[in-house]
Amino acid sequence: MRRGQKKDRTGRYWLAIALCGALLWLTPLSAQEADSSSAALPDSAAVVRDTLKVLTPPPGSGIEGPIKYWAEQITFSLNDQTTHLAGNSKIQYLDITLTAARIDIDWQRNSLTAYGVQDSTDSLGQPVYKGLPVLKEKGEAPISGIELQYDFRHNRGKVRTGRTNMAPGYYRGEDIRKVGKETLFIEDGYFTTCDLEDHPHFYFRSAKMRVRLKKQAVARPVTLYIADVPVFAVPFAIFSLRRGRRSGIILPTFGENSQGGRYLENFGYYWAPNDYFDATLRATFYEKTGFLYNGDMQYRKRYAFNGSVSGNYSPKDIRTGAKSERWRLNFNHFQKIGQTFTINANGSFVSDKSFYRDYSSDYNLRTNQTIRTTATAKKTFPGSRTLSMNFTREENLQTERIDYTFPDLSYSQPARSLFTRKAGGQKQWYHNLRYSYNSKILARGSRIPVTDNASGQITGFDRTYNSGWKHDIVPSYSFKALKYFSFSPSLSLEELWVPEYLEYAYSDSLDRVVVADTVKEFRARHLARGMGMSVRTTLYGLFELPFSPLKVIRHKMDPSIGFSYQPDYSDEVYGYYQTFKNAAGREVRGDRFANNTFAGTPQGEQRNMNISVSNLFQGKIIRGEEEKKIDLFRMTVSTSHNFALDSLRWSNLRTSLQAKPHPKLNFNFNAQHTFYKPRANGRGRRDEFVWS
């Protein structure tokens, strides 16, 4: 039988027992008074069987409520001044309950003893008890032992072979004595976080422990046992019992897996020197392969920076036990410098592709085949202008391919007026001229493994690197005409600079265009996208509903129509494509800018007409003198027509409906309808309207 689990609980338990006893003492006195008017009892005792008693304390007694006690047999001894509760004994006071097979109260010594009774013996001849004393308080873990004693006069208690649990584990002690309200002395005890409380896989054993309730436990000497075998010993140890952020020893858990065998996981130390920093160092011992070390730290300064670093290190391979340094490192950092500059970085690194599979119990990590590192620095200027620098690195652990992006430099300026109006000056038409500007330098590189077809082994790496610089200028202007119509011309200008471009040739054997050469020479590409004009207006309608709380429905309709044009940039006049004729006499093309870090060159002429109608239905609810406006629903219908196509010029008719009938309920509906009949084989559409 395992010995000594630590026993601890606050002083109010013992006070409650004392109060219970004090009230119980009134019971024999009352019995004595009742009997004084009748014949003397032959044995000076009163016996009551199968009973429930309730004592209501007199005013001014200091007792906060009634005391209830049960027992199969209650004996009052007038000569000895004792009370005996036997058989499923129970005392209840407020939210505290004491149960035991027997409870004896000695009023001459002012003491209470609760204990179990021997029921049988086990296979080793050790006694097996039933009805052991259990002390419970609502919301707290129960305290139990073979015997519980309390001295009312000196406010001292004792539990023999006591046990309880107090985060983060279980305590047991052969002899537990209470001195004062908050101090326990434990002899021959142990502590464990193993779920097998009676026969734990591991425990910390000590001959003497001093426990300050809810503060700390000091034990000396301390020996760690694993499977009842002493592993190591220290002269003393301090275990924190405080809740919250406190430095102290981290107690391990026990487990088993197929690779490392049985293990003792996460035994270590937590260090929190101040409110801005903490660190943890832990070790896991595997029966077959030795130690795995884990560490992490967090740091934070409010409004300035925060971050964390964590990692693992193993000097041996968990699968084979052979010497092999394997490790993992994760980090993240955020810092704000002043009000306009921020730095944000996070990343992961591992020593080999199977580290997560071998050492992690997290399913997502075990199946993860990609690790990613990113870093961003961002500066904000007046007028919401921003400049940012980014770095990304992504590694596929299975294929060992690495892709990275650097530099990634972006500048953004939101729309602003081309001509600023002077203070107090009259607004002119050109004050509506606005523009926005964005610029981006982007470079991408890759390390691609080369694999031998016969052996499947990596024999080397191919490396690629591409870069470019793109500028976007978007001018905008809006004006009203014919009183009710708003006109908005549109244009987007793009320019791309690249340090190299592609030259193509036509392969008769492959019957396609192939890259013949990469020319290391600066080249620029100029695009004008979205040239066009749109016009819109707003119409209103009102509908009255006099016989409903919803008195008025308002219909707001916003029809718009727009035209846009984009030339065919694959035309030879622009020089962005090379054109060849294949064996069938059809033209095939190759984009000279296909390998740039941005999008390739668009091809195909576009002459589009876009049509949309947005409808908003609102209501006014009137109840008495109270009026409330609500949005009922919004419905939008749109389509487009491409004049540059030779068939199927109309796109699908798109319909969307949004409603919010309740603050916690949203309704969304989307649908598309085609204008054209399906083909006979059901694949695609033919150039014939459904109504024709």
The DSSP-derived string for 475-497 is EE--EEETTTEEEEEEEEEEEEE
Task: Please state which architecture CATH assigns to domain 1-242.
Answer: Sandwich (2.60)
Band of pLDDT at residue 185, cut at 50, 70 and 90: confident
pLDDT of residue 470: 95
How far is 280 from 347, CA to CA, in rounded Å? Answer: 20
Interacting residues of 382 by C-beta distance below 8 A, sequence separation 6+: none
- In the three-class reduction of DSSP (H, G, I as helix; E, B as strand; rest coil), residue 3 is classed as coil
Q: Which is it for the CA torsion 94, 95, 100, 106, positive or negative?
A: negative
Q: What share of the chain is helix, strand, coil (3-state, %, to 5)?
A: 5, 65, 30
Q: What percent of the chain has pLDDT over 90?
A: 33
| Integer angstrom CA distances of residue 474 from 42, 142, 567 | 112, 73, 18
Q: What are 589-618's pLDDT values in tens digits?
A: 999 999 889 989 999 889 999 999 999 999
Q: What is the rounded average pLDDT for all residues in the chain?
A: 81
Band of pLDDT at residue 635, cut at 50, 70 and 90: very high
- Residue 555 tokens read as 């219909």
pLDDT of residue 55: 55
Band of pLDDT at residue 500, cut at 50, 70 and 90: very high
pLDDT of residue 376: 96
Select from 29, 35, 133 the least CA-distant residue to 83: 29
Q: What are 458-481's pLDDT values in tens digits?
A: 888 889 999 999 999 999 999 988
The model carries a pTM of: 0.63
For the chain, give the number of residues.
692
pLDDT of 269 above 90: no
How far is 689 from 673, CA to CA, in rounded Å? Answer: 12
How far is 409 from 341, CA to CA, in rounded Å? Answer: 15
> Which of 655 and 141 is assigned the larger pLDDT?
655
Give the domain ranges of the chain. Answer: 1-242, 245-362, 533-692
Structural contact between residues 430 and 412, judged by C-beta atoms closer than 8 angstroms: no
Query: Within 10 A of 58 (CB to CB), how many other CB atoms are there?
Result: 9
Q: Which is it for the CA torsion 202, 204, 205, 209, positive or negative?
A: negative
Mean pLDDT of the 77-106 span: 83
Residue type, 229: V
pLDDT of residue 206: 82
Q: What is the CA radius of gyration of the chain?
A: 42
Helix (H) or strand (E) holding 402: strand 402-417
pLDDT of residue 188: 82
- In the three-class reduction of DSSP (H, G, I as helix; E, B as strand; rest coil), residue 114 is classed as strand
How far is 541 from 616, CA to CA, in rounded Å? Answer: 11
Structural contact between residues 526 and 602, judged by C-beta atoms closer than 8 angstroms: no
* The residue to which tokens 């590409």 are assigned: 525
pLDDT of 12 above 80: no
Q: What are 294-323's pLDDT values in tens digits?
A: 999 999 998 899 999 999 898 877 677 678
pLDDT of residue 563: 95
For β-strands 45-55 and 665-673, DSSP reports them as: unpaired
Structural contact between residues 194 and 252, judged by C-beta atoms closer than 8 angstroms: no
How far is 314 from 352, CA to CA, in rounded Å? Answer: 12
Query: Within 10 A of 211 (CB to CB), how many other CB atoms are there?
Result: 27
pLDDT of residue 67: 66
Helix (H) or strand (E) holding 31: helix 11-35
Mean pLDDT of the 628-641 span: 93
* The residue to which tokens 């996070």 are assigned: 346
Structural contact between residues 630 and 622, judged by C-beta atoms closer than 8 angstroms: no
**DSSP letter string, 347-390:** EEEESSTTHHHHH---HHHHH--EEEEEEEEEEEETTTEEEEEE
First and final C-alpha spacing in the chain: 93
